[in-house]
């Protein structure tokens, strides 16, 4: 999952509102632009019958984000232990 993790770090989250015809209340949404995601990693989008990019595979993005979070958590825990070991030597 190493390459996928790097890809997620290159993604650009956006806010957007659907056109009034689709969403009369124009609620603010958070997400990713599927065409941009495709450029970063084509495996993170779903395509329609004609091969056109339709949507982001958010379940895959979430799994990769969780992987990144866990890696960082382990790194922080390791640093905390090293720091505490140094403090106890004083």
pTM of the model: 0.78
Contact between 61 and 40 (Cβ < 8 Å): no
| Distance set, CA 6 to CA 11, 46, 79, 85 (Å) | 9, 20, 22, 32
71, 77, 80, 85 alpha-carbon torsion, rounded to 10°: -120
Write out pLDDT tens, residues 29-77.
999 999 999 999 999 999 999 999 999 999 999 999 999 999 999 999 9
Buried-exposed string 11-36: b where 16+ CB fall within 10 A, e elsewhere = beeeeeeeeeeeeeeeeeeeebebee
Write out pLDDT tens, residues 17-32.
999 999 999 999 999 9
pLDDT, position 17: 96
pLDDT, position 40: 93
């Amino acid at each position: 999952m190493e390459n996928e993790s790097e890809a997620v770090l290159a993604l650009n989250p956006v806010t957007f509102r659907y056109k009034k015809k689709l969403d009369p209340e124009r609620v603010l949404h958070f997400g990713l632009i599927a065409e941009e995601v495709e450029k970063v990693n084509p495996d993170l989008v779903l395509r329609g019958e004609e091969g056109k990019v339709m949507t982001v595979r958010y379940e895959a993005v979430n799994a990769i984000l969780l992987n990144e979070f866990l890696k960082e958590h382990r790194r922080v825990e390791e640093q905390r232990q090293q720091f505490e070991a140094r403090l106890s030597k004083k």
